[in-house]
Amino acid sequence: MLLSRDTENAMKPTAIDWSDCPLVEVVPGKVGGVPILIHSRVQADAIVENYEGGETVEDIADNFDLPEDHVRQVVAFAARQKTLQLQ
């Protein structure tokens, strides 16, 4: 199946700048230096990908052993960042 260029662009993952998210840190040498939730080894992008894949906040929190509030905040931050990038 061929996709239009607009559809292809809409499907491409958008890199999120996590630097202003208080729940995310980058620690060289920890999980390869990718953005992770503080006090964990959970990649911030994994939270977003699971949510966008249809998982509920409750399931993500349970699966990654995180507070539901942290999952909500990370998902909301990512949504704001993606909106800013589209403008």
Report the chain (87 residues): mean pLDDT per 10 consecutive residues.
42 76 95 95 97 97 97 97 84
Q: Is residue 26 part of a domain?
A: no
Reduce the DSSP state of residue 24 to 3 states and report it: strand
8 A C-beta contact, residue 21 and residue 27: no
Residue 6 pLDDT: 45
Classified as helix, coil or strand, 44 is helix
Q: Does 1 fall in a domain?
A: no
Domain membership flag for residue 35:
no
> What confidence score (pLDDT) does residue 15 get?
86
Does residue 69 lie in a domain region? yes
Q: Does 9 map to a domain?
A: no
Please tell me the total count of domains within the chain: 1
| 66 found inside a domain | yes
Task: Supply the range of the domain harboring residue 57.
Answer: 42-87
**29: in domain:** no
Position 9 scores a pLDDT of 43
